[in-house]
């Protein structure tokens, strides 16, 4: 599948880019290994509303990239994302279930989207409504007005993503921006949760069972 499904399908997601993205973030990934997302947050005084918006963003990002499509995903409970378990000490949510639905490039994309959610909001130097307007313009075939230069600089500072070439970072920033364009009701609260309460969002690997 070379393109992202649904409303984002006009943005190319070529296989060569997918391979470079996985190679940068999870170098040397073997066929017998799977990857998953792990979220470590504070374990006290967590704002329920912010946490709920964060989980909704996580779920909807997976749904938008799910082979079933977002509508069928919503109707199929057995295919919906689950937290495998939560460890105490800090709130450490292990989401290995994601590997059952998304391939490695899309798992890496979800990881980057969640990790950089606050930066996406801050570096665009525009309001949430600008994201929605840019999406509408994109659908109408117009040139979107969002400047992704600030986000690209943030991605370049990431130890893993900095391994990508400039053109790949440009494409990644564009994909990240537009994937969030439809999620404006949840963005501010979810971004605050990540900024104020999440200690780490990591991508882990394990041997397939």
- pLDDT tens, 7-50? 444 455 788 999 999 999 999 999 899 999 999 998 888 899 99
User: Can you tell me the distance from the alpha carbon of 84 to that of 137, in angstroms, rounded to the nearest whole number?
Assistant: 39
Mention every residue, 6+ apart, whose C-beta is less than 8 A from residue 156.
Answer: 162, 169
Mention every residue, 6+ apart, whose C-beta is less than 8 A from residue 56.
Answer: 186, 190
Q: List the alpha helices (DSSP H) in 162-202.
A: 166-180, 184-197
User: Can you tell me the distance from the alpha carbon of 88 to that of 142, in angstroms, rounded to the nearest whole number?
Assistant: 49
- From the number of C-beta atoms within 10 Å of its C-beta (0-12, 13-18, 19+), residue 190 rates as buried
Helices 184-197 and 48-65: angle between axes, nearest 10 degrees: 120
- Say if CB 20 and CB 164 are below 8 A apart: yes
Residue 39, beta-bridge partner list: 93, 201
Of residues 124 and 179, the one with the higher pLDDT is 179
3-state secondary structure at position 53 = helix
- pLDDT tens, 102-156? 899 999 999 999 998 888 777 654 555 555 565 565 555 444 445 567 778 888 9
User: Can you tell me the distance from the alpha carbon of 65 to that of 54, in angstroms, rounded to the nearest whole number?
Assistant: 17
Query: What pLDDT, on a 0 to 100 scale, did the predictor assign at position 193?
Result: 93
pTM: 0.83
């Amino acid at each position: 599948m070379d393109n992202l499904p649904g409303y984002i399908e006009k943005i190319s997601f070529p296989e060569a880019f997918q391979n470079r993205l996985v190679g940068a973030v999870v170098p040397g990934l073997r066929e017998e290994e799977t990857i998953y997302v792990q979220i470590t947050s504070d374990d006290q005084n967590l704002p329920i509303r912010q946490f709920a918006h964060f989980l909704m963003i996580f779920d909807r990002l997976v749904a938008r990239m799910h082979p079933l499509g977002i509508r069928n995903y919503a109707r199929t409970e057995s295919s919906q994302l689950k937290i495998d378990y939560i460890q105490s000490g800090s709130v450490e949510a292990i989401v290995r279930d994601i590997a059952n639905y998304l391939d490695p490039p899309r798992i890496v994309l979800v990881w980057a989207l969640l990790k950089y959610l606050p930066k996406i909001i801050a570096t665009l130097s525009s309001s949430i409504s600008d994201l929605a307007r840019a999406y509408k313009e994109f659908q109408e075939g117009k040139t979107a007005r969002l400047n992704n230069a600030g986000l690209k600089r943030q991605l370049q500072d990431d130890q893993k993503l900095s391994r990508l070439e400039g053109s790949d970072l440009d494409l990644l920033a564009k994909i990240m921006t537009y994937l969030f364009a439809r999620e404006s009701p949840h963005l501010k609260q979810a971004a605050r949760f990540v900024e104020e309460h999440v200690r780490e969002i990591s991508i882990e690997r394990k041997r397939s069972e």
